[in-house]
Amino acid sequence: MSELQDPSRDRLKHHFAQRVIHQARQVLEVWQRLQRSEWSEIGMSELSEASVRLLRYAERFDQAEHAQLAQSICNSLSAVGENRGRLNSQLIAQFNQTMQRLSRTGLRHGDHFEQTFLPPLRKPVYLALQDSDRAERLAQQLEFFGLSAQALANATAFKTAVGERHPAAIVMDVDFAGTGLELAHAAQQGLEHKIPVLFYSHNETDTPTRLAAVRAGGQEFFTGSLDASSLLERIEVLTHVVQYDPYKVLIVDDSKAQATHTERVLNSAGILTHTLTEPILAMDALAELQPDLIILDMYMPECNGTELAKVIRHNDRYVSVPIIYLSAEDDLDKQLDAMSEGGDDFLTKPIKPRHLIATVRNRAARARNLKARMVRDSLTGLYNHTHTLQLLDDACFRARRDGQPLAFAMLDIDHFKRVNDTYGHPMGDRVIKSLALFLKQRLRKSDYIGRYGGEEFAVVLPDTDERSALKVLDEIRQRFAEIHYPAQPQDLSCTFSGGIAMLQPGLDSRALSKQADEALYAAKHGGRNRVELYRSE
């Protein structure tokens, strides 16, 4: 038997690849902890050890991409050391870019859309449902989405599984074995880091039951239906596998020394900053950085803080971006007047670093959550129609500026009206959510995915040529068609059609969108369940 045909060798290679992936997850977990606290020497040392181990594993098992990324992290850590242990925005950006790429090796396809799709979580999810058939079907669906899931038949099996290995999350029926709440509560005892528990009840429950679920560690409560796509989405959020973006802050202060001090304090907490000493340049910096928060000095010669706040608030895109004044002004009436002019908070110099970091983090986190509600579709969590077009416009600008290719795709679920008419609108919603999750899993974090309307989706693919765009979307199309949704009188499966257009010289975002729509029309009329590239002829 040749080397290529040796199944044991393939299994060995897969095992080695998994070891590398697991070590990559260790690196990402350390990075997440650093994101939530100041970058201490202990944290930096832990990240260094995990990265060196990843480099060693990757080189030993011939995983070139992971070796390159691990070396990049080691180089960035060396640069921090050469900078006397201080982070700056350039280093944070380098770390973040590398971590984004590293997360995609385990969560999504890499930059070149490799065929390997690896599970997003190292640990399994335990399913403890009263209906064992439902648990098995759900486990199969979660496995299809790349998540390791284990259905447990009874209380003894649950206790044994938890005793042997802690899961990434627990999905627990409140009625499981008659003691679901107690079992979940017992599983958390003595744990420093609690296991996310998602409770389920076939019927509506009363407040005492939900209160008991909260006390048992419940972070989510589902009633009625329980589908894989919405469940996986919540698990990803609760286990933090989807969040690697540092907060971005624009600092506007005419004092170079004060601006540098503020920047260093925030950089020490892994917060990305951009500093301006000329307030007149603020709007251009806002468009480029798209910050989560703005820090303004009150008194500047060219333009004071309250005037600049008014200018910023005139632009609809920045209405919800928090503005914090950071000033030596200690007159309470003047502080209140400033906050009435577009500000959200007022901090007085000098300020303790921990106070500044905590305020920025809390405000930025709330702003991100609010923005997500404003710009995302409520059913799928994808960007809504209006924001998708804004993102496409921004992507076109960057592609032209940097001389990079840009692909834009329109996708539409085939015969969707028939799904709604035959199986009902709840099933239609499940299919839409399923495709949304599929796209989020299999595309890069640098890609933008939007729900264009109804059963139609849009995808912005920066730095992507037409061959790569066609390859990745066609693979997603093939895999999506393999999903089966339990239904009567028979299981349902769906397909989608897609159209891709490439940004050309002289083409704006509106014309690009029109071309993608025409390519989608061609795919529909060409027989559906296919992806077409736009051709001018």
Rounded to two decimals, the pTM is: 0.63
CA 239 to chain centre: 12
- Enumerate the H helices of 225-352 as residue ranges: 228-238, 256-267, 282-289, 305-313, 332-340
- The verdict on 389 and 529 lying in the same domain is yes
Mean pLDDT of 26-54: 82
Does residue 113 lie within any of the structural domains?
no
User: Is-contact 139 485, C-beta < 8 A?
Assistant: no
Does residue 167 lie within any of the structural domains?
yes
Least confident of 6-15, 114-123, 263-272: 114-123
161-191 as b/e: b if 16+ CB within 10 A = bbeeeebbbbbbbbbbbeebbebbbebeeee
Please tell me the predicted confidence (pLDDT) of residue 117. 36
How far is Cα 220 from Cα 218, in angstroms, rounded to an integer?
6
DSSP label at residue 485: B
Please tell me the predicted confidence (pLDDT) of residue 145. 67
- The verdict on 297 and 346 lying in the same domain is yes
Between CA 27 and CA 32, with CA 29 as vertex, the angle to 5 degrees is: 115
Domain span at 472: 385-533
CA distances from 445 to 283, 313, 428, 462, 499 (A): 26, 29, 26, 11, 21
Of 381, 386, 517, 519, which Cα lies nearest the Cα of 438?
381
Please tell me the predicted confidence (pLDDT) of residue 413. 94
Strands 197-201 and 169-173: parallel
Mean pLDDT of 432-457: 88
- The verdict on 401 and 503 lying in the same domain is yes
Does residue 44 lie within any of the structural domains?
yes
Please tell me the predicted confidence (pLDDT) of residue 11. 56
pLDDT > 90 fraction of the chain, expressed in percent and rounded: 29
DSSP label at residue 316: G
- The verdict on 278 and 417 lying in the same domain is no
- Say which CATH number the domain at 286 has: 3.40.50.2300
Please tell me the predicted confidence (pLDDT) of residue 105. 65
Strands 456-462 and 406-413: antiparallel
State the pLDDT confidence band at 119, using cuts at 50, 70 and 90.
Answer: very low
Does residue 120 lie within any of the structural domains?
no
Please identify, among 374, 395, 417, the residue that sits at the C-terminal boundary of a domain: 374
Please identify, among 215, 238, 261, the residue that sits at the C-terminal boundary of a domain: 238
Least confident of 59-68, 117-126, 354-363, 470-479: 117-126
Q: The tokens 């170079």 sit on which residue?
A: 256
How far is Cα 479 from Cα 10, in angstroms, rounded to an integer?
22
Q: Most confidently modeled of 10-19, 141-150, 174-183, 331-340? A: 174-183
The more confidently predicted of residues 150 and 39 is 150
* Residue 251: pLDDT over 90: yes
Per-residue pLDDT tens for 351-378?
898 899 999 999 998 888 788 778 888 7
Please tell me the predicted confidence (pLDDT) of residue 62. 81
Please identify, among 80, 107, 134, the residue that sits at the C-terminal boundary of a domain: 107
Does residue 153 lie within any of the structural domains?
yes
Q: What is the DSSP string of 16-51?
A: HHHHHHHHHHHHHHHHHHHHTS---HHHHHHHHHHH
- The verdict on 103 and 208 lying in the same domain is no
- The verdict on 354 and 442 lying in the same domain is no
How far is Cα 464 from Cα 462, in angstroms, rounded to an integer?
5
Please tell me the predicted confidence (pLDDT) of residue 104. 65
pLDDT > 70 fraction of the chain, expressed in percent and rounded: 90
- Crossing angle of helices 41-60 and 64-82, in 10° steps, is 150
Per-residue pLDDT tens for 407-416?
999 999 999 9
Q: The tokens 């399923």 sit on which residue?
A: 434
- The verdict on 96 and 197 lying in the same domain is no
Q: Is 32 exposed, middle or buried (0-12, 13-18, 19+ CB in 10 A)?
A: middle
Torsion sign over Cα 518, 522, 524, 529: negative
How far is Cα 430 from Cα 379, in angstroms, rounded to an integer?
9
Between CA 508 and CA 519, with CA 513 as vertex, the angle to 5 degrees is: 130
Mean pLDDT of 461-469: 92
Does residue 112 lie within any of the structural domains?
no
Element (H, E) at 502: strand 496-502
Per-residue pLDDT tens for 202-225?
888 889 989 989 988 888 898 887
- Enumerate the H helices of 298-415 as residue ranges: 305-313, 332-340, 353-375, 385-402
Mean pLDDT of 46-75: 89
- The verdict on 506 and 400 lying in the same domain is yes
- The verdict on 195 and 281 lying in the same domain is no
Does residue 115 lie within any of the structural domains?
no
- The verdict on 142 and 228 lying in the same domain is yes
Torsion sign over Cα 314, 315, 317, 323: negative
- The verdict on 416 and 516 lying in the same domain is yes
How far is Cα 482 from Cα 117, in angstroms, rounded to an integer?
15
How far is Cα 13 from Cα 393, in angstroms, rounded to an integer?
43
Of 519, 513, 459, 502, which Cα lies nearest the Cα of 108?
459
Per-residue pLDDT tens for 284-311?
888 888 899 999 988 888 788 888 888 8
Q: What does the mean pLDDT of the chain come to?
A: 84
How far is Cα 157 from Cα 165, in angstroms, rounded to an integer?
12
* Residue 115: pLDDT over 70: no
Backbone φ and ψ for 247, nearest 5 degrees, come out as -70, 150
Please tell me the predicted confidence (pLDDT) of residue 110. 36
Please tell me the predicted confidence (pLDDT) of residue 3. 43
CA distances from 196 to 201, 214, 236 (A): 17, 11, 11
Please tell me the predicted confidence (pLDDT) of residue 216. 87
Please tell me the predicted confidence (pLDDT) of residue 444. 82
Does residue 267 lie within any of the structural domains?
yes
User: Is-contact 62 13, C-beta < 8 A?
Assistant: no
- The verdict on 94 and 170 lying in the same domain is no
69 HSE (CA, 13 A, CB side):
29
Q: What is the number of domains present in the chain? A: 4
State the pLDDT confidence band at 8, using cuts at 50, 70 and 90.
Answer: low
